[in-house]
Amino acid sequence: MLIRTPQGWACRPSEITPEGVYLSRRQFLGAGAAGLLAAGVPALAEETALYDAPPAAEAPAWFAEKHPGIRWAAVVPEGEPVTPFAAATRYNNFYEFGQDKGDPARHAGALVTEPWTVRIDGEVGKPGVYELAELVRPHALEERIYRLRCVEAWSMVIPWLGFSLGELLKRAEPTGNARYVAFTTVMQPEAMPALRSRLSLIDWPYREGLRIDEAMHPLTILAVGMYGRVLPNQNGAPLRLVVPWKYGFKSIKSIVAIHLTEQQPYTTWQALAPREYGFYANVNPEVDHPRWSQKRERRLPGTLLRSNLRDTLPFNGYAEAVAPLYAGMDLRRFY
Ligand code: MTE
């Protein structure tokens, strides 16, 4: 299966193989190269490559069923290599596991991701609690290569595997009162040191929210994998939100509840520091964080000699697709 990034807004095909992305012979053979060739699929067309991700030790059955393990990068953003897997999985924010960027990789192995259920309720005609496999099964998994811009002014380019949040919400039949969507992360105090700490400032669980039109937008996905494999725990296994035009903190990890509501929902960072983190959190180089500029970003991984600074783009480069959602709004006020 050759998966293409779906529409023009994502990124244009590149004829170069980006650094950090290469063919792993073992993965390629494991993925059934012979079968692909027999089917006439150009196995190593110039624009394709496999990622540098090690296969997951054991992918759950529902994942293997949806995605048989073939890793193709059909397109990458022009001039923006895909971030090496090692950087994307060892430099993380997942505060439940600690504040150091290495803490999620160190501790998230203890997260129990199977069995996993997701509750969908609130302003919907069909509320329910779904086993993850049941939730994912009706959806096609697509690869989306998106920029992820953290509010802390670093960024990465990540190949997600996911499906449209809007399609999932439609199945739940939102009522006319559904104006917002609230998301909640799992609470596993045994696995998550910050939930046991008296010093933690966050009122757990981690919560996030979107306006309904943002949630229904075709760019918004729920990811179950990255780099052609199941999501590593530190990146939000088994189910996380990805909203590429917003600062990374909106992309809530390890989701267990999706609640449609009439009121703008409580969100973790807005509650913690409302002057610093707004509900909208659209990437905007013109609106500085009170303590630092948002004009530029450090594309990871950098080196001591190469900090890899680049200009931050309005809406993280997705303005054409999403700016109309905010027509007439004062983006300095609604930051
Ligand atoms: N989700 C939960 N549950 N807890 C968190 O601390 N951090 C957010 C977001 N989702 C966070 C979370 C922040 S600040 C960022 S930048 C992204 O996850 C980081 O995603 P990554 O680690 O996969 O790069």
Ligand 1, atom 24, residue with closest C-alpha: 92
Give pLDDT tens digits for 87-116: 999 999 999 999 999 999 999 999 999 999
Q: Is residue 243 lining ligand 1, measured as CB closer than 6 Å?
A: no
Helix ranges, 141-281 (H): 165-172, 193-196, 212-216, 268-272
Question: What's the gap in Å between 115 CA and the centre of ligand 1?
Answer: 22
Give CA separation, 217 vs 146, 252, 292, in Å.
Answer: 15, 17, 30
Instruction: Determine which residue's CA is closest to atom 3 belonging to ligand 1.
Output: 253
Domain limits of the chain?
A: 60-326
pLDDT in tens, 190-221: 999 999 999 999 999 999 999 999 999 999 99
Q: For the residues 268-297, what does the mean pLDDT come to?
A: 97
Distance 46 CA to ligand 1 centre (A): 34
- Tell me if 116 CB under 6 Å of ligand 1: no
The Cα–Cα gap between 261 and 178 comes to 5
Task: Identify the residue whose C-alpha is closest to ligand 1 atom 11.
Answer: 94
CATH 3.90.420.10 is the classification of domain 60-326: yes
pLDDT at 48 over 80: no
Closest residue to atom 22 of ligand 1, CA basis: 92
pLDDT at 76: 61
- Which tens digit of pLDDT belongs to each residue from 253-273? 999 999 999 999 999 999 999
